[in-house]
Chains A and B, each alone.
Chain A
Amino acid sequence: MILNPSFNLSYHQQTLPPDWPGGFWWHWLVFTLIIIVFFLAMVMGYIWLERRGMARMQARLGPNRCGPFGLLQPVADAIKVLLKENIVPVKADKLVHWLAPLVTFIPALLIFAVVPFGDGAVLADLDIGILFVVAISSISTVGIFMAGWGSSNKYSLLSAMRAAASVVSYEVPVILAIAGVVLIAGSLSLNDIVQAQSVPFILLQPLGFLIFFISGCAEINRSPFDLMEADSELVAGFHTEYSGMKFAMFYLAEYAEALAISAIITTLFLRGWKGPVLPPWLWFVIKVMVVFFVMVWTRATFPRVRIDQLMALAWKFLLPLALINLFITAIEVLTWPEALPWVLILVNIAIMVVLVLLWSKFFKLGWGRVEV
């Protein structure tokens, strides 16, 4: 039976506050357990939500045989994948091939060390929490590149190249979008950022949210930016040559990254665990699910962009807008520190609409065909 994370969390909050004297190791142990359980349960929930939700959008049923509403399908899949043969290509770089799934999977898990599930309910309330997130999340790409290189498969290699290029490009707008939030909140700690949100930052930073959401999707390679495992082009991209548990690690990592990005978006822009009536952790879970649902929605709707269009979007559209957004936010923070939030919200939404419309007029895509 799956441990109920809600129970542990509330129990912990009542009995073991983080500043409990001498309780460092208790805190560490309990929170690590909570995070792992929460993480696995949520990833399974995500897989279920994606498959059922997309099936619904695509006028079909989706998994419906294992358990009620197919809820146990991820469990059945996990068992199946555990029993499968582990195939390694003869020409593969064995060590790199073996390490790659781990390098991809672990960072996604590490991000939850700094994500607050409630007021102060966080494994490590780092002062530089958001910096930690940015630093750790980029490591996944190294894993993807290792997988692409180590498989000695051309599809995987193409996919790895795409992954490296896109992540390097999209880190920039992501960080600039985060900087706007940090300016308003006045702190890098995720818990403080949540505390600072009397109004959700999605309203104060609408453009920042848009940029962060798009770049986040691109970074974790969700549709419409799923070029790295573009199923209609590169078969399965970097994990073409993986099977058994190693493939499962990649599969988990894909959803774990989606979970991490949804959690970060929730924390930065949607007031994190804050909310009326319901307990904080439940608010957190609900918001994370809603963010993920939007990702599923886009995946079911949009076609995929091409690699040069992906790059053009990052450098010609998102980056200038992110810079302008940061500039405007800085001016607002400096000049109107006491301004009514509703005035700022209206002003910022107006600025976002004008900027996006204006910039999309000037936005030109790069070259399409190359003379050969």
Chain B
Amino acid sequence: MSLIEFKVGASGVQNVPFSVLRADDTADPALMPDIPESDLRALYRTMVLTRAFDARMFTLQRQGRLGFYLACTGEEAATVGSAYALKPEDWVFPCYREQGCYLWRGVTVQEMAHQCYGNALDHTKGRQMPVHYSFRAQNIVSISSPLAVQLPQAVGTAWAAKLRHDPIVTLTYFGEGSTSEGDFHVGLNFAGVYKTPTIFFLRNNGWAISTPREVQTASENFAMKAAAYGFEGVLVDGNDILAVIAATQDAVEKARNGGGPTLIEAVTYRVGSHSTSDDPSAYRNEADVKVWEEKDPVQRFQRYLAKRGIWTPEWEAELQAAVKAEVDEAVQNAEKAAAPTPETLFDDVFAEMPAFLQEQRAELLDSLKETR
């Protein structure tokens, strides 16, 4: 069933990431997943849109127009490619650096911009920091700042679907730093015990703010940890979108057919900072970053598409213009939209507002009347 033959190191551990794209920018025909040309174009467009949105939001924060932002630059292949392997009815439990996934699943940059601005049109009603999205229509759950809490939750949803005999899978994203949290162990352990249809998608981007990967684990890699929980772990080139798609499709098919969970370690790199509050020049060598910029996932995919005659400079110009217009409009609308009204502060704490919250709401509104 599996296309993937893993390259095993001397220790018996797979230590060479699975890849489909070759050094000459062609795909290994034996490993190439079946992707229609229209999808290849859409995947590339989503990667470009993700990068453009990230770049704009980052700039807006630097200009003082946005409170905070967190880009996924360099990790577009990992998040767009893994999302491609899912069906709309599947559920996603994000970490907080998976913009590519949301856009692939049909979330618009407009919805994302509204959330980042915390305005009245934001689905989360201005209650969470920028990038802490929640998209019910796309089965994307609410993003938490505490790390790895989403892993047991993703297992719970997969477990519930299994009990209901619904053929869905859950996919949860997290970084390599999250593997040090207790909830990483908890999530993988429950998934293994109950054989839930869960894909643990680990973006190993090398850094947890300033803490390098070596400080998180003494293991040879992260994928091998799955063995301890009784299921398969695979190591994938996270900057090769075709490899990410192939590996995730394999894991999804296995999960959907009752084969249980998989841990996918996508090896990638956080080319930018952790967030707008971070300055990576304080702790890492810019020469290392250069190496990874040369492995840029968008560029690699572009060169592959060019070889196949799908990508042309004319299409790129068209695409960049369209993406810029889309982001421009989203930002303009988000900046224009009103803030949530003060009375909404008390909504959604409970299903029905109890008397004590009604009282506090009245107190706030009275106090605002007096101060205005």
Indicate whether A and B interact: no
- Taking Cβ atoms with an 8 Å cutoff, the residues of B that contact A are none
- Taking Cβ atoms with an 8 Å cutoff, the residues of A that contact B are none
